[in-house]
Amino acid sequence: MSDHARNNGGANTEAEDLVEIEEILQHLEDISFVAHRDTKEALPAIRAFGAATARRWIETVRELFFHDREAGKSFMRHSARLAEHMQTVDLWLEQAARFKQWVNSADALEGFMAQADRVYDAWGGAGEREWAEIGLRWCERSLPDARAYFETPFDKLSAGRGIEGLRALIEPAETLFDERGLTLDAYLEGAPIARNLVGDAGLLSWARRGADLLKAGRSRGEAYFRLESDESLKLLLEALPGFRPRMHGRFLRLVLLAWLDADIPLADSSWKPGEGRPMLETDGRRLYMPAVMDSREEAMVATQHAAAHLAFDTYAHTDVERLFERAGAEHPPLDDRSRITWRPLFAPFEARMFRFQVLFDLAEDLRVNARLAPRIPNFLPRLVALAEVHGRPEGAAAVYYDFALRAHQALLRDEPQDPRLARVLEPDADVVTAWAVGEELFADEAFPEITIEERAEAYLPGLSLNQSLPVYPQRKRDGSLADFRDHEAHDEHRFEHQKQEEQPQQAPEQAQKDPDADIQTPQQETSGTGGRIGTGIPQPAQVAKRAAPYTPKKDGIPYPEWDYREQRYISDWVNLYERVLDDENPELAATILSENADTLKRLTRGLEMQRPMRLAPLRKQLDGDELDTEAVIDYIADKKAGLSPKAFIYRRRAVQHRDTAVLMLADMSTSIMARHPGGQGKIVDRVREGMMLFAEAIEKVGDPYAISGFASKQRDQVNYYWLKDFNEDLNDTVRARIAGVSGRLASRMGAGIRHSLEAFKRSSAQRRLLLILSDGRPADYDDGGDQRYLHEDTRMAMKEAVDAGVHPFCITLDPSGSEYLPAIFGPGHYTIIDHVDELPRRLPEIYLRLRQ
């Protein structure tokens, strides 16, 4: 500031402002040719707002340039446009100057300058100020997050709801940044789409689960926010209204079997929320169904229509070859799975390719539907009715939609058809005919150009792109799909055989060595923390390859899980694998029985007293030792009343057994491999002894019993191991399995309890006991460090057990169990064994006490 300005209270004269501008211009010329050039180019637009404003602007240019050259260049490049569009400089000049507070803020400033004028036009000055202020707060938190904020189109963040929509989207991110360190960069990957599905109210819970997954493993968490994982998609799809084909797959296949005599496999498509209108796809072997469709009617139309394309030779290899000959290619190009790719056919249309695709599909759909209509009489009426009530699309798509609807209405009502389309209704028409009709329609300029975003909206409900996937070559069918499954299975077997032949052989020394043969996964940190016995709380999984996508497993038994944060069950959230424990140690089994022979003798003497010896009277029998007086009186009264009662008039005495079945469920997490507190072996040694004596004791009593264990590695791999099922005898194999028990990974207890309840259905006993043997609190690698999450799920699983008539009881080795067991199991439903050495003796005693 000049001396004159200081003497006049800080205000420069216009002449002094102009002098300072020239001095700064000269300074910039001395240090950077580019800075001087860009400043001179932008300066005229700024000078229109007065010399004082121009002086403040050029001072900011210089300060930003010295602070960060890229930031200064970005500020210069955008200034003229912002001044012209916003007709103000002071607003954005003050905001841009604040970026000088942070090192390396150029990217965030670039995003701000690129959008500020558009935000101002849409939301006015107040809206622009709040938009900028939110971004500047993120600059204080994290510059990469601020960059993500300013680079994301503001209308995408607001979803057309103005500043209110922006606030609703950003508030959960601010909350979770403070609570859990969630980055805005990750959150914004999927939050705008998620908000459209779960609403503002559901956005925080959706993001909170993603934040938990980020803590458990970065790769998995990032996949969640990109909407590429089952965790995220399941939550969103549950909130999405509509018909869910995957839940009604059997019904849809029966529809095809009834009408087309076709058993066509159905599979899930790759469609995700936010990717436009969901459509059915096919690769010639399967029908790929989206997770949700508008209605049951649309799903039925889509399934029947897609099957008709297979039946009426849209993908017949001979016809497709003729198409390629027409295009000047010798044969259809194949991909690495020997599927036909259609792209070369559409390449000559270049930028107008989408326009031709829609017109070709329109002609081919009409041809196929005309063939299908006589086979399924209600198909065309259902399709036309859906199309008539469906909302007419906007823009260019409306022209194609209306044309297709008129064609199908004419077909349904047997009215005159557009002459160009009449050719595909002839008896000998095929896919090549439809292509020729598509070319003729393409020449009609009445059909406007259409973008890839508009393309899906041009199709009638239930119809879809016929070339979206590469297709396995099909033989000519002429309407018959009776042997489709056999043909498909043969091709599938041939392909799998080829894959096996091509698979490189792995040397034995290169094979993964995993102590748990059931869980073939990369080694991860599985150590427990805290507690004298080990509380079973795993450390977060270490992801070796950060960029490796998370691939969930899908071939287990699905179970729901309770989310206390949302106060609801998440259906099919856990994947459980049931198997017989194949780790056997017969030598150790013999040693355990030998070393505990004295304990077993003492238990046996006590057990003899539990055997039922007293004769109990059984009344109202068909035969017996003596008459049952009351039954005789009832019998005579019924006879005199004109009834025909059966003569259940005797009673006899017999030994009456207590009808009790028990299932012991053992926590087989890594923490049982900890050293024994007394220095003698490991905790698992006492667990094996306890389970062995438990089995021998129950065998003496004669009650039906089973023994199982569980371990988990995140929610999609919970392993349930059978050591002895209800229908097995206690033999040397079972004893060897018990002796082979070892610790592995984490403990997702709720899933283990729910599967045990299913196992009890195989027992007819009236009284059922579930004994849970644990050494610590429920925990898993994907709980994000939130101990309460799996605690609450286990608590709900216990309630489910009680509702199912099962009496649950937990036996824990964790000295700190009193801190959490009352909340999970409730008073009287658990006991703590303070000394591990007491476990072998106490286990049978606890059961016998509960049995009484």
CA distances from 299 to 271, 287, 295, 357 (A): 15, 12, 6, 23
Edge to edge, the sheet with strand 281-282 lists 266-268, 287-289, 281-282
How many residues are given for the chain? Answer: 852
SS3 for 785? coil
- Beta strand pairing status for 650-655 and 615-621? antiparallel
Question: Distance (Å, rounded) from C-alpha 265 to C-alpha 485?
Answer: 8
pLDDT at position 724: 94
Determine the pLDDT at residue 494. Answer: 42
In this predicted structure, what is the pLDDT of residue 146?
94
Give the model's pLDDT for residue 111: 94
pLDDT the model gives residue 4: 42
CB 28 within 8 A of CB 59: no
Residue with tokens 């904020």: 149
What pLDDT is stored for residue 14 in this prediction?
83
Terminal-to-terminal C-alpha distance of the chain:
94
Q: Which residue has the tokens 């799809």?
A: 237
Does residue 579 contact residue 722 with C-beta atoms inside 8 Å? yes
Chunked mean pLDDT (size 10), the chain, 852 residues: 45 83 86 86 91 92 89 91 93 93 91 95 94 95 94 91 93 91 91 85 86 80 82 73 83 88 86 82 91 91 94 92 84 80 87 93 96 93 94 92 96 93 94 94 94 92 91 87 59 43 40 38 35 38 36 74 83 90 90 87 68 58 76 80 78 63 93 76 88 87 90 92 92 93 91 94 86 91 83 93 92 88 88 85 81 68
Phi, psi dihedral angles at 59 (to 5 degrees): -65, -40
Contact 216, 784 (CB under 8 A): yes
Could you tell me the maximum CA-CA distance found in the chain, to the nearest angstrom?
A: 129
pLDDT for residue 608: 60
- Residues 64 and 75: beta-carbon distance below 8 Å: yes
